[in-house]
Amino acid sequence: MASLLGKKVFEINGQGPPPTKDFFQLTVTKTEVIWRSWKISLRIEFKGAAPGENRMTHDDYLHNARMQRKVGVVFGQQILQYTQALCQGNFDYLERLPNDLLLQILAFLELKDLCNSPEFWEQTVRGRCDELTPEMEALANAMGWRKIFFAFFNTKEHQQYVQGEYQTSPNFDKFLQWKEYEKQKITDKYFHEFRTLGKGGFGEVKNSGQMYACKKLCKKRLKQKNGEGMALLEKQILEKVNSLFLVNLSYAYDTKTHLCLVMTLMNGGDLRYHIYNIGEKGLEIDRINYYIAQVTTGILHLHAMDIAYRDMKPENVLLDSFGQCRLSDLGLAVELPSEKTINQKAGTSGYMAPEILKKEPYRMSVDWWALGCSIYEMVAARLPFKDYKEKVQKEEVARRTLEDECKNEDPRKHEWFKGINFPRLEAGLIDPPWVPKPNVVYAKDTGDIKDFSEIKGIVFDDKDDKFFKEFNTGAVPIAWQQEMIDSGLFDELNDPNRKESAAGLDDEEKKSKSCTLL
């Protein structure tokens, strides 16, 4: 625990760990953020709240015993939820994790010794589970049985440490400082917009520099189409997911006219554009195999959180500048906890499963149907059931459907993926078969993107204002912390030999209100 900040692990959200490469490397590596105005100084000292701002300062935190207890307990619970979720009664998950990732997870759990006897901890761990896998025993021999116990089985002693010794350590002081930075209010003044990337039902997606894409949802259009619930659900789901194979949310804020979702920037275009606009129509088999393996992993990450995607299609699979792909647009995603089913019609025509068309109860299976349709389109450059402007009756869809038994098996074990090493793929260690050229824009010309018509007669009320405030939550912890690491700001502010000012920054640059890129 004492090395928490030193290990650059900031926030735990109760999910399984992201792939190692996803945590330490963003899609843009040749650019560096040199400064962002956060109303802070490089001394890591907090300024008082500005007039009109009702926010607890760092000094208030340190002298408020109730708040310290609250933060300590919450932080301890987050650590416990994260580590225990890894293999709570199921050691199969460990077999799919790279050893270096497991070591990293346990590295920051340097807890206070309760007993110096290795035999005591080994006996305790073995008494808590029926059977240990060879991987688990190897990890225990490398890290020690005590750390295994704290990571996966202990609760009471861990919380006692978090609420006691940790709160009096310098790391707790740093933790509060970074959390205050993280909670700074975000506005559009922090970003520069460059070009429109595309448009959807409620708004547009813009490139906000070299680092992020900003999805802007028109407030009036949302209210006109009763889309507030869908927008909020998408934002809440995006906050939960953190995967190398899903477009991740970094910030959520609002302006006078729009709700803004700042997400991973994908420079390589979408698969639909590659299918129909580059060379011969369709994609090469090696590219299809690689992309579908990544998409399958992304869908499985969603399903592991009881989330049905419901909008799988090539247009929603985006490539980054390295040729890796991610799923995007979670506007139709829905949470289906336990064995809950739904019969709502949702999706895109041509990719919807028969059970959706028939309005029958369904769960996650509809995503695999849509994936099958997408594979067909990547190969043949047309949909299997409905081509452009073709009208197909529901009965025809049923007639064209295979009647083979649907088996509930792990799709990664399919014969088609026999050449894919999924642990290496999930760790980002397999090179893509195709890499975008840095000087090519893989998207339609902005002139081909139609403008939205002006919306009149929409007036916002108190209910709308409440919704906007609920949407505007600012920075997403893991993404923000990752930016601090990649920008070098984390290392700079934690350098004991650091000078008062950052090298190369004059007073005017420190006042910048935007994300400055080299």
**Identity of the residue numbered 72:** G
Quick one: which H or E segment has residue 468? helix 462-471
**Sole residue written with tokens 């900040």:** 5
CB atoms within 10 A of CB 239: 17
Nearest CA among 77, 78, 83, 117 for reference residue 97: 83
Which two structure tokens, joined as six digits, stand for 477? 């912890």
Question: What is the Cα Rg of the chain in Å?
Answer: 25
**Sole residue written with tokens 């108190």:** 462
b/e map 499-512, b = 16+ CB within 10 Å: eeebeeeeeeeeee
| Angle at the Cα of 331 from the Cα atoms of 351 and 248, rounded to 5 degrees | 110
**Identity of the residue numbered 19:** P
Q: How far apart are CA 211 and CA 31, in angstroms?
A: 8
Q: How many Å separate Cα 389 from the centre of its chain?
A: 35
Tell me the helix, strand and coil percentages in the chain, rounded to 5. Answer: 40, 10, 50
Q: Is 462 a catalytic residue?
A: no
| Active-site annotation holder among 188, 254, 311, 320 | 311
Contact between 172 and 2 (Cβ < 8 Å): no
Q: How far apart are CA 222 and CA 225, in angstroms?
A: 5
Separate counts of helices (H) and strands (E) for the chain: 22, 10
Please give the full DSSP string across 373-398, using - where no structure is assigned: HHHHHHHHSS-SS--TT----HHHHH
* DSSP E strand boundaries for 255-302: 258-264
Contact between 245 and 327 (Cβ < 8 Å): yes
Q: Residues, the chain, total?
A: 518
**Active-site amino acid positions:** 311
